[in-house]
Amino acid sequence: MTETQVPIPARGDVGPPHGGADERSTLVAFLGYLREAVAAKAEGIDFDRARTPGVASGTNLLGLVKHLTAAEAFWFVYAFEGADEPIPDFGMEVTEADTPEGLLAAYREAGRRSDAIVAACPDLETLAARTTHPSRIHRSLRWILVHMIEETARHAGHADILREQADGAVGR
């Protein structure tokens, strides 16, 4: 760590989930671990820095949280559960009306709702109620869990870089 880098305070057991659980528990635990990694990067940062793009594409830290909240709602609620809700907006635009606390609370609530949907499903091979465009394939709950692990992990890496660019904070 350099002089300009500020560590992000560690919170509890931040290592990957312990092994030995069944497949469902392992997948849910890893997704939860990655969700918390993203959330940790978005906590305790100045609002303006958190919504300032770190790259030319416009990606910003709080925008990633907003995007991942939409991904949770799309895959678990809209596609898998088939809830009568509109397709969420996957955009990353953070407005003055948004707050870090509100965005993080919405993200955590989306994760809890997703976890409840997974817990209520008896079999990971159960197919989603809806197909997704453009594939028109009914994805299994297993596929959705693995996809959300991949999506969240990719964006957790982006969040690491964006947070370090924003205020020098590093670590989990």
DSSP 31-60: HHHHHHHHHHHHSS--HHHHTS-SSTT---
Q: Region 59-70: what's the mean pLDDT? A: 97
pLDDT, mean of residues 133-160: 95
Q: Which two tokens stand for residue 73?
A: 């709602």
CATH topology of domain 21-165: Four Helix Bundle (Hemerythrin (Met), subunit A) (1.20.120)
> Whole-number mean pLDDT of the chain?
91
Could you give the C-alpha distances from 136 to 1, 48, 121, 132, 133, in angstroms and in order? 47, 40, 22, 5, 6
What pLDDT, in 10s, does the model give residues 73-111?
A: 999 999 999 999 999 999 999 999 999 999 999 999 999
- Name residues whose C-beta falls within 8 Å of residue 40's C-beta, 6 or more positions apart in sequence: 8, 11, 172
For the residues 131-144, what does the mean pLDDT come to? 92
At residue 14 the predicted structure's pLDDT band, cuts being 50, 70 and 90, is: low
User: At 20, is the pLDDT very low, low, confident or very high (cuts 50, 70, 90)?
Assistant: low
The C-alpha atoms of residue 75 and residue 145 are separated, in whole angstroms, by: 9
Alpha-carbon distance of 86 to 78, in angstroms, equals: 8
Every domain of the chain and the residues it spans: 21-165
Question: Residue 16: its pLDDT value, please?
Answer: 80
Q: What is the pLDDT of residue 171?
A: 75
Q: Are the beta carbons of 78 and 130 closer than 8 angstroms?
A: yes
Kindly indicate the confidence band of residue 21, based on its pLDDT and cuts at 50, 70 and 90.
confident
Residue 170 bridge partners (DSSP)? 7
pLDDT at 134 over 90: no
Distance CA 107, CA 91 (A): 14
Q: Whole-model pTM?
A: 0.90
Residue 4, pLDDT > 60, answer no
In this model, does residue 1 exceed pLDDT 60? no
